[in-house]
Amino acid sequence: MPRIAGVNIPDNKRIEISLTYIYGIGRTLSNKILAQAKVDPNIRAQKLTAEEINRLRDIIEKSLRVEGELRREKMMNIKRLKDVGSYRGSRHVKGLPVRGQRTKTNTRTVRGNVRKTMGSGRKTSSEKT
């Protein structure tokens, strides 16, 4: 199991897919990295040579922000918005949608499904009124 950027890459998947297990690398970026390193994207991760793994590791670690560094940068950007007191920062603090979505309905995902949905409003016969 090759280890790149502190992440164990799955052996039995194609290297194109395996690289996406690293936070900050998607399919498109994965293909660009493989083209730059001159590695076949269809080869399985377990069949990579040590030289190919080192080339991939060098490209990822030198030119990209991935894993902890990217997460830290993302957190710092949100913290900066909060400290400045911007509207977006206040929405982050309140746990509401930040990018102008409606909130009268459809904010269940962002709020973490805090409230229960209404239902039919009809009470069962066992409850006293």
Phi-psi region of 119 (alpha: psi -120 to 50; beta: other; left: phi over 0): left
DSSP for residue 101: -
Domains of the chain: 3-64 (1.10.8.50), 68-111 (4.10.910.10)
81-121 pLDDT, tens digit each? 999 999 999 999 998 899 988 888 877 777 777 666 666 66
Helices (H), 5-121: 15-18, 27-37, 50-63, 67-84, 87-94, 108-111
36-73 pLDDT, tens digit each? 999 999 999 999 999 999 999 999 999 999 999 999 99
Q: Quick check: pTM over 0.85?
A: no
